[in-house]
Structure formats: C-alpha cells, structure tokens
Amino acid sequence: MPPIITLHGLSRHFGDKIAVDAIDLEIAPGTFLGFLGPNGAGKTTTVRMITGLLAPTAGDAEIAGHSIRREPVAVKRQIGVVPDTLALFDRLSLWEHLTLVGQVYGLSSTETESRATELLQLLGLWDDRATYAVDASHGMRKKLALAIALIHAPRILFLDEPFEGIDPIAGKVLRDLLRRLSQSGTTIFLTSHILEVVERLVDRLTIIVKGRIVLDDSLATLRQGGRSLEEIFIGAAGVDAAAGVELKWLGGE
C-alpha cells in the first residue's frame, strides 16, 4: 500500500534558525505514529507545515496523494488537526463552533447536530455547550479543539500535545477514543511528552532532535532491547545540556 503521508525534504527556517531540516518520512495508512522530541526540536513546526498552517521553506508533503503546496484544500478535507495553539473564536460557544465547522465540511445540519451532541457528551462538555470559547477553561478548549478535529470523521488525525492540560478522566476518554480510531484504520500523528501515554498507544516512534530525525522504528522493535521509552528517548535525544550545572546558590549547604 502506498504511504498516506510522505514528507520530502521538508524544511522550515526562521531567519538563521533551522527549525526543521530537510526531513523525509513515509507513513503507511493506519499507522499510529508517536512524533517525539525535546522542547524546540521542530515537532510543532513540522505539524503546522503538514497541515497547511505554515508554508515550508523547502520540500513538500503529500497527504493521501495531495501536495500541501499545490492542493491545500484537498489536504484539509482529509485531515483533522488539534494544533498546539488552539484556533478558536472567542465569542462563539462550544456548540456554535461545532455547528459552524460541520457546515464548512458540508455536513447536513441534522448530521452536524447529532455528531456535535455525541462529541460534547463524550468529552464531558455537554453542560457547558453554551459557554463562549473565551470563557472556557484550558482543558475545555483543548477538548473542543479535539471535537472540531473529529466532526468530519477524517482519515488522518494530527494531534499536537492533545493530552496537555486535560484531566485524567478526559485523558482516559481520549486514549480509548484514539485506540478505537486507530483500530478502525485512522492514521494518527501524535506529539506528546507524556511517554507513558505514548507507549500505550503508538505502533511507530519517530524522534526529532534539532530539526532532524534521529530515530524511526516500530515500537515493537525498539522494545526488544528491553529499554523503557524514557531510556530510548533520552538516549536518542542525546546531549545533556544540564550536565555540570549545580545551582549551589539555590538551597543546599
């Protein structure tokens, strides 16, 4: 089967800073990919380029056969995205967000309303459906972004730190939901620093450091060495910038 996501030399520079450095990646349909890396490694920049939120400096990405450079609208129809900076409208309620997005994707109003109701119920947002996004808590906004990403039943999901700031109950709902989507064939591209969650969900791990992919393998193969995901991550991310820094002035003798 041809890959559903292909990155060719995908790069992004910000002035002199090379945030993403010519990365190549092929992802088979149905893969649950954990895209990990230290803070500032280039994960969010990569996700923003693949999902059409940021133009690449060089290279391209193909999603389900469509180039993000030449066919951004065709790409957007296939994907759902939870970006790290949630793009919500302050003065729309949670319910209004979902009905608006349903319409944009061409769903009938009956279908939109029934999906919106189920998503809000599943995510524990139903009682708050009339709350404006600006007045919603951090976790509520995160859950709303997730509902927005799912309402058109996309084949491919990009989730940038979806577990950050949500409570343990919502975390379990989200884990179960992602597992179910993955089992039914949805391709999932996940960034997260919560390694215990990543370990329980993904089947492939890609680690990016300073804009370059330093490790890319199936979780099963990586686990054969008997190392924990934390050891694999720290081993791949390498350099220990904190080595030798003691902070003697901060407490102690």
Ligand X SMILES: Nc1ncnc2c1ncn2[C@@H]1O[C@H](COP(=O)(O)OP(=O)(O)OP(=O)(O)O)[C@@H](O)[C@H]1O
Pair type for strands 32-36 and 187-191: parallel
Q: Is 105 exposed, middle or buried (0-12, 13-18, 19+ CB in 10 A)?
A: middle
Which residue from 9, 17, 70, 85 is in contact with ligand X, where contact means CB under 6 A? 17
Smallest separation, CB 35 to ligand X (Å): 9
Which residue from 19, 140, 198, 202 is in contact with ligand X, where contact means CB under 6 A? 19
Which residue from 11, 25, 31, 37 is in contact with ligand X, where contact means CB under 6 A? 37
Q: Is 42 in the site for ligand X (CB under 6 A)?
A: yes
| Residues in 120-159 that interact with Mg ion by CB under 5 A | none
Q: Is 44 in the site for ligand X (CB under 6 A)?
A: yes
Residue in the structure block whose two tokens are 């997260």: 192
C-alpha separations of 1 from 26, 27, 28, 214, 216 in Å: 11, 10, 7, 25, 19
Which residue from 16, 39, 87, 243 is in contact with ligand X, where contact means CB under 6 A? 39
CB nearer ligand X, residue 43 or residue 143: 43
Smallest separation, CB 41 to Mg ion (Å): 8
CB nearer ligand X, residue 95 or residue 189: 189
DSSP string, 211-251: TEEEEEEEHHHHHHT---HHHHHHHHH---TTTT---TTSS
- DSSP at 163: T
Total site size for Mg ion, rule CB under 5 A: 3
Total site size for ligand X, rule CB under 6 A: 11
Pair type for strands 66-67 and 58-63: antiparallel
15 in helix, strand or coil? coil
Instruction: Report the alpha-carbon distance of residue 158 to residue 43 in Å, rounded.
Output: 11
Residue 91 touches which of Mg ion, ligand X, none (Cβ within 5-8 Å per kind): none
Which residue from 2, 9, 28, 40 is in contact with ligand X, where contact means CB under 6 A? 40
Nearest to 11 by CA among 68, 69, 58, 53: 58
CB nearer ligand X, residue 31 or residue 191: 191
CB atoms within 10 A of CB 188: 22
Q: Is 44 in the site for Mg ion (CB under 5 A)?
A: yes
Binding-site ranges for Mg ion (CB under 5 A): 43-44, 84
Binding-site ranges for ligand X (CB under 6 A): 14, 17, 19, 37, 39-45
